[in-house]
Structure 1
Amino acid sequence: MNELHAPVIVLDPTDNVAVARVNLPSGTNLTAPLLQVESAVGRGHKIALRPIASGAPVVKYGQIIGVATRDIAAGELVHTGNLAISAVNLQHEFCVDAKPTDFVPEARRANFMGYRRPNGKVGTRNYIVIISSVNCSATVSRAVAAHFTRAGELAPFENVDGVVALTHAGGCAMGVGSEGARLLTRTLAGYALNPNVGGVLMIGLGCETNQIPGILAEHGLSEGQGLRTMTIQQSGGTRRTIEAGVAAVRAMLPEVNAVARSLAPASELMIGLECGGSDGYSGISANPALGVASDLLIRHGGTAVLAETPEIYGAEHLLTRRAATPEVAQKLLARIAWWEDYTARNKGEMNNNPSHGNKAGGLTTILEKSLGAVAKSGSARLEAVVEYAEMVKDHGFVFMDTPGYDPAAVTGQIAGGCNLIIFTTGRGSTAGYKPVPCIKLATNTPMYQHMSEDMDVNCGTIVTGDASVQQVGEEIFAKILAVASGERSCSEGFDYGDNEFVPWQVGAVM
């Protein structure tokens, strides 16, 4: 068996663990490296390359992922029974790996077919969104959207991708101007301004804390043909509001449909880099391949937004090295400090994951998971750090502070302006995120084959040695351009995306 197809993957010469490509029964004799398997090691899990003493660091990716909780023999499975998180005491160097972008010459840059908006932004889809200002208007908002799904009224409007209700559990019982209220209003306004949105109807109850006029004023929005508002109390109740909402959407349809796809530069693409249901292969295959695609998009003038602050914990030193300025690095560390305080106040800890599924797939500590997750961002310079749902204004690689919970993280990225989501998964996540298409990348071939109708790209060919990270990254970049131009992703084929709008809830509920 050649080195490329060896049964284990050694990621760095300094590592004292390797990752199993295949299931390794106890007693198996390996020749590359020369090793006998002392305890069964499942595919994606770690095997000790040499003896590791109790209390000694366990090293993967050339980085410490935890410490041995007992003596570990060479050839033994390394997982939750003998590995635990160590104290995070990282050396943060600023800007040392920040290299200017090697842009593709303008004449050779990629294009896609998108929907150009009056403000110059370009969407990859063309939706009408019904936004509820408060939980109390959620039922009415969903009823308005459902009318167009059931009645078939969209059939004559071939340029309209759908009508979707964006409902949530908040909007009242919060202080005006509180942290929670600011995050919610910023999220709602961000969706209204997303380039994938051609028309907006905001529906409130009328007496809620989160008043619609306040949202519009705070974020520079104004009513017109493309943005209409109403409240249930002012409209005369549930039935009348639904009727008025249907009429409002019906009136928007001709104008929204009048916008057709046209040629646009790839610089107008802003992709959200996301992972969920990760496994031991995530940091080896799909995540680094997405990093290649991210770097390619940035070289073509586009933007990539990494998120999930709790899931870069322990790997943030790799990002501070890539920061464009010391101020950008300091802002990232300030968000890490906020999370450490936030989890402590809520009697939690930053090592609250890997989750059950992550551990079943081979991940043991948050340090290991974070090191793999950061690979999604490639090697580009970190241009900016933004807060949750904050509008992303910089081009290039940007970090957004979000929770690690996938729907909440992606909701923030879309509110920040992302018009495409790229989602890596090893266990098989299936969500979608209207009004933005979501491309799913499988980290391993068995899962891709088992869930082939839900996965867009198989990155498991990297694990088997049949393709390089660079080759799969280029395949992902081509898929990004195709889906941006209208090709339906697998999650769109199943009509996912009606239930994944999850604004981050923080602060006191009064």
Structure 2
Amino acid sequence: MQVANSDIVIITTPKDNVGIVVNPLGLAEGTVLQEGTVLLQFVPSGHKVALCDIAVGKEIIRYAEIIGYANKLIKRGEWIEESKMSLPTPPELQFISLPEANEIIPEMEPLEGYTFQGYRNADGSVGTKNILGITTSVQCVAGLTEHLAKKIKQELLPLYPNVDDVVALNHTYGCGVAITAPAAIVPIRTIQNIAKNPNFGGGIMVIGLGCEKLRPESLVPKKDDSSEFGADESYSSITYMQDESFHGFNEMVEGIMKTAEIHLKSLNKRQRETCPASDLVVGMQCGGSDAFSGLTANPAAGFAADLIVRAGGSVMFSEVTEVRDAIHLLVPRTINPAVGRALLNEMKWYDDYLSLGQADRSANTTPGNKLGGLSNIVEKALGSIAKSGTSPIVDVLSPGERIRRKGLTFAATPASDFVCGTLQLASGMNMHVFMTGRGTPYGLSMVPVIKVGSNSKLSQRWFDLIDFDAGKIASGEKTIEEMGWELFLLILDVASGKKQVACDVLGLHNDLVLFNPGPLT
């Protein structure tokens, strides 16, 4: 990465014909860059300046890739804004070459000796929190679960010091839905797999109404001798509000409180123990991105992702529309043709899904993205995939599926922050790393969320909302490698409970949002 004139403009590769302004206040008309370009107008921070004349129809290049075509003459030194660019067509999926037919994963130098303090579960998974989760089979009972979570926190939780929290896992599914439709498998398995997240220790509770289509029995992880609760079926984790044995709301609540005590007693027995870094399952996600995201926060997260993979751990990256335009760079990283084909299939499935809704991937880029210097989805995607690092892609998950392999996995999700986080939670993440350039209070109560700021201006202004300032890369204070190591060590500390993330300190947690492509009835 070349830096011009005292860190004022960043040029990502020698092939680029644009530079990114770093100065927090932007650069004034008449500024002379180190390579000789004279700015013809003011260029805001994070935005692109042309480093040569670009004729109509000619390529605009960043990251050594075409991010658009000039729709008017762009003179050297001009600010390249969205209105001056035409969007390229996406890569043709059928013409992307699959990797060679082999099962050999390219070797990465092992990283040994790194550990964290986690909660070991009977199935071998490891939690980074110890939480009593209360899920629902239908949205109708959300008021009750919120009431219960508050009451349990106030009256019971103080008696069980090893339990971190009580969380109501509410959602908007369960009734008025065609649960046998093919696409219904996405929300159903998402709810089922959230209940299996390692931070719940196998002790989920379920509140149902009684008349819903999605039956509560399908949401409880099957108990056996290897579960936290053993094979004893003397009590049920399921409560129906319509159970005729209840006389009034208070009796219903008291009955559920007794079940909660059984769960809390079991969860309270869990103790943190030393676990290898290979037990990490880290979800990587970005939201509220800007032009610095692909230069600082995402590359630092990608470096940390490589360290986790080298340590034997698991990393997921997601957001289909934010990798679609960079798919030609990802398929060659898959370990075999089957994984490569699965990756292409997820892109095709989502193309078709958007087409049915009369939308396309260009709708992804938000007004905030554009204000932060990202002109279109192509530029955004090329920066987004940096958070995947350089490791080989060992598996591809459809939305809501559980992670199956150690290493780097693509977990297909929409790009919506809340939907992506919900689906990664279902896939089994026990840590979440979230990169942002514009800023967001995003957080999840179920897993720790480390928020990484892409620029120091944001990180300093939101000093109590951002956990990690990757903007030091843009200013030249730190390298991507240095920040990647720092982030990796922070992940271990947060997973161990040694450090608390900002959203947990402030109690800022988003609701779960299911991806439901299935029909309503």
Global fold match (TM > 0.5): yes
TM superposition shift of 1:184: 2.1
**Is the aligned partner of 1:101 residue 2:110?**
no
Q: In structure 2, what residue type is equivalent to 1:408?
A: V
Distance 1:485 1:89 in 2: 42
Q: For the structure 1 residues 443 and 211, does the alpha-carbon distance in structure 2 shift closer, same or farther, using more than 3 Å as the test?
A: same
Counterpart selection for 1:489 from 468, 479, 501: 501
Residue 380 of structure 2 corresponds to which residue in structure 1? 369
> Please, which moves more after superposition, 272-281 or 230-239?
230-239
Q: Is the 8 A contact 2:98 2:340 kept in 1?
A: yes
- Are the aligned partners of 1:191 and 1:197 in contact in 2 as well (CA < 8 Å)? no
Structure 2 match to 1:112: 116
Cα distance in 2 for partners of 1:467, 1:369 equals 23
Secondary structure, in 3 states, of the residue corresponding to 2:82? coil
Equivalence for 1:165: 168
Q: 1:209/1:379 Cα in 2 relative to 1: closer, same or farther (>3 Å)?
A: same
Instruction: Give, in whole Å, the separation in 1 of the partners of 2:341 and 2:435.
Output: 28
Work out which of the residue numbers 261, 272, 289 in structure 1 matches 2:300. Answer: 289
Q: 1:210 to 1:118 in 2, by over 3 A?
A: same
Residue number among 387, 390, 414 corresponding to 2:398 in the alignment: 387
Which residues of structure 2 form unaligned runs of 5+?
none
Task: For residue 256 of structure 1, give the secondary structure of its aligned residue in structure 2.
Answer: helix
Change (3 A) 1:339 1:244: same
For 1:45, the equivalent position in structure 2 comes to 47
Aligned to 1:213: 217
* Aligned 8 A contact 1:24 1:37 in 2: no
Are residues 176 and 25 of structure 1, via their aligned partners in 2, closer, same or farther at CA, if it must alter by over 3 Å? closer
Equivalence for 1:148: 152
Distance 1:413 1:75, change over 3 A: same
State yes or no: 1:76 paired with 2:78.
yes
* Structure 1 residue 218, shift from structure 2 partner: 9.4
Query: Aligned equivalents of 2:143 and 2:232: distance in 1?
Result: 23
1:181-330 equivalence runs, <5 A: 181-198=184-201, 199-216=203-220, 224=233, 228-234=237-243, 236=246, 238-330=249-341
Instruction: Write the deviation string for residues 86-124 of structure 1: whole angstroms up to 9, x where unpaired.
Output: 11235623337996232426xx33110000011111100
Q: 1:29 to 1:378 in 2, by over 3 A?
A: same
TM-score (normalizing by structure 2): 0.93
Match of 1:421 among 424, 432, 438: 432
1:32 shift after superposition:
1.5
SS of 1:104 mapped into structure 2: coil
For the structure 1 residues 226 and 413, does the alpha-carbon distance in structure 2 shift closer, same or farther, using more than 3 Å as the test? Answer: farther
- Equivalent residue of 1:470, what SS? helix
**Which of 453, 468, 476 is residue 457 of structure 1 equivalent to?**
468
Assess, with a 3 A threshold, how the Cα gap between structure 1 residues 325 and 219 changes in structure 2: closer, same or farther: farther
Go from structure 1 to structure 2 and tell me whether the alpha carbon gap of 1:321 and 1:253 turns closer, same or farther (over 3 Å shift). same
Q: Are 2:457 and 1:446 aligned?
A: yes
2:387, 2:311 → 1: CA distance? 17
Deviation at 1:191, TM superposition (A): 1.5
**Aligned amino acid, residue 416 of structure 1:** S
Cα offsets for 1:180-225 (capped at 9, x unmatched): 4322221122121111113211001000010112344899999858
The alignment status of 1:66 with 2:68, answered yes or no, reads yes
Q: Residue 290 of structure 1 contacts residue 376 of structure 1 at CA under 8 Å; is this kept in 2? A: yes
- Once residues 238 and 411 of structure 1 are traced to their aligned partners in structure 2, the CA distance between those partners, rounded to angstroms, is 30
Structure 2 Cα separation of the partners of residues 306 and 226 of structure 1: 39
Larger displacement relative to structure 2 (334-343 or 454-463)? 334-343
What residue is the counterpart of 1:29 in the other structure?
31
Moved more, 32-41 or 382-391: 32-41
Change (3 A) 1:434 1:24: closer
Specify whether residues 127 and 226 from structure 1 end up closer, same or farther in structure 2 by C-alpha distance, changes over 3 A only: farther
Tell me the TM-score normalized by structure 1.
Answer: 0.95
> Is the alpha carbon distance of 1:483 and 1:280 closer, same or farther for their aligned partners in structure 2, counting shifts above 3 Å?
same
With over 3 angstroms needed to count, the CA separation of the structure-2 counterparts of 1:219 and 1:411, relative to structure 1, is farther
Equivalent residue letter for 1:62: A
Residue 504 of structure 1 is matched in structure 2 by 515
Aligned-partner Cα distance in 2 for 1:432–1:418: 14
Give the superposition deviation at 1:26: 4.0
Contact 2:5 2:33 survives alignment (8 Å)? no
> How many angstroms apart in 2 are the aligned matches of 1:17 and 1:223?
65
Query: Is the contact made by 1:101 and 1:299 (CA closer than 8 Å) also made in structure 2?
Result: no
| CA distance 1:468–1:99, shift in 2 (3 Å) | farther
Code of the residue aligned with 2:502 in structure 1: it is: C
The size of the alignment, in residue pairs, is: 506
Deviation, 1:81, is 1.6
**Counterpart secondary structure, 2:159:** coil
Structure 1 range deviating more: 463-472 or 62-71: 62-71
How far apart are residue 135 of structure 1 and its match? 0.6
What SS does the aligned partner of 2:373 have? coil
Structure 2 counterpart of 1:127, one-letter code: I
Contact 1:103 1:301 in 2 (8 A): no
Amino acid in the other structure paired with 2:391: A
Distance 1:363 1:87 in 2: 17
Contact 2:59 2:67 in 1 (8 A): yes
Residue pair 1:19, 1:44 contacting (<8 A) in 2 also:
yes
Asked if the contact 1:171–1:181 (Cα under 8 Å) also holds between the matched residues in 2, the reply is no
Distance 2:178 2:232 in 1: 25
Letter in 1 for 2:17: N
**Distance between the aligned counterparts of 1:101 and 1:66, measured in 2?**
36
For 1:120, give the aligned amino acid: G
Q: Larger deviation: 414-423 or 18-27? A: 18-27
- The Cα offsets for residues 403-443 of structure 1, whole Å up to 9 and x where unpaired, read as 11011001111101100000000011111112111000000
Instruction: Kindly indicate whether the alpha-carbon contact (under 8 Å) linking 2:204 and 2:220 is maintained by their aligned counterparts in 1.
Output: no
Q: How has the CA–CA distance of structure 1 residues 458 and 4 changed in structure 2, closer, same or farther, with 3 Å as cutoff?
A: farther
- Is this contact kept in 1: 2:120–2:126, CA < 8 A? yes
Amino acid at match of 1:162: D
**1:238 Cα deviation from its structure 2 partner:** 4.0
Equivalent residues of 1:142, 1:165 under 8 A apart:
yes
